[in-house]
Amino acid sequence: MKELSKEKIEAAVATLQSVADARKLSQSQLEDLSKVNQSTISKIFSRAIDPSYDNLKNPYQALG
Per residue in 19-48, pLDDT (tens digit) is: 999 999 999 999 999 999 999 999 999 999
Q: Is 1's pLDDT higher than 80?
A: no
CA pair distance 55, 50, nearest whole angstrom: 9
Rounded Cα gap, residues 7 and 30, in angstroms: 23
Burial of 36 (0-12, 13-18, 19+ CB in 10 A): buried
* pLDDT score of 3: 76
